[in-house]
Amino acid sequence: MESKQITEALRGAGLRVTAPRVTTIGVVAEQPHLQADAIAAEVRKRLGSVSTQAIYDILNALTSAGILRRAAVDGRTSRFELDSGDNHHHIVCTVCGRLEDIPCFEQATPCMHPPKGTGFDIKIAEVLFRGVCADCQTP
C-alpha cells in the first residue's frame, strides 16, 4: 500500500493524516494479523516514540472507519489487517497460534447466506476455523 493511497484512505474517511496513522496502516498492510502491542513496537521502530494510547486510538479509529478489520481469535486480544472488502476468513492453529487467511470461495461459504426470518439485518459473517497446522501435526 503506497503512501498516497494511505493518505487518500484517511481523507476519505474524514480522518486527519498523521505520521502515526500512516505508519500504522503501512505496518498492518505489510504484516497482517499483528496484535496491538506488536504493531506499536513496529511503529515505534519506524517513527521513534509513539504512545500506547495513540496506537489504540488509531486502531479503533481506523477500524470503525472501515480501513482496518479486527479479528478476534483468542478472546482476549485483537489482530488487525487491512479491510480490503474481500471477505476472507481465518484459520488458527490451536497448537502454535499461527493465523492464516482463507479466501472466501463462493461455494464453500454457505454460511454467508444466513437464514431469513431471524429479524436480523446481517452485515457480516465471520468464519474462524480452528485446527492444527502442518508443522504442528508431526509427532
By CB under 8 A, residue 128 contacts a copy of itself: yes
> For residues 134 and 117, what is the distance between their CA atoms, to the nearest angstrom?
40
Question: Is residue 78 a contact partner of residue 37, using CB atoms and an 8 Å limit?
Answer: no
> For residues 113 and 2, what is the distance between their CA atoms, to the nearest angstrom?
34
By CB under 7 A, residue 89 contacts DNA: no
**Touching DNA, residues 2-41 (CB under 7 A):** 10-11, 15-21, 35-37
By CB under 7 A, residue 52 contacts DNA: yes
The distance of closest approach from Cβ of residue 130 to a copy of itself in the complex, given in angstroms and rounded to an integer, is 5
Tell me which residue of 79, 31, 36 sits closest to 54, measured CA to CA: 36
Q: Out of DNA, a copy of itself, none, which partner does residue 131 contact, by CB within 5 to 8 A per kind?
A: a copy of itself
Using the minimum distance from each CB to DNA, give the nearer residue, 19 or 95.
19
Mask 54-93, x = binds a copy of itself (CB under 8 A)?
----------------x-x-xxxxx----------x-x-x
DSSP notation for 2-13: -HHHHHHHHHHT
Report which secondary-structure segment, H or E, holds 91.
Answer: strand 89-93
By CB under 8 A, residue 114 contacts a copy of itself: yes
> For residues 127 and 91, what is the distance between their CA atoms, to the nearest angstrom?
9
By CB under 7 A, residue 49 contacts DNA: yes
Q: Out of a copy of itself, DNA, none, which partner does residue 106 contact, by CB within 5 to 8 A per kind?
A: a copy of itself
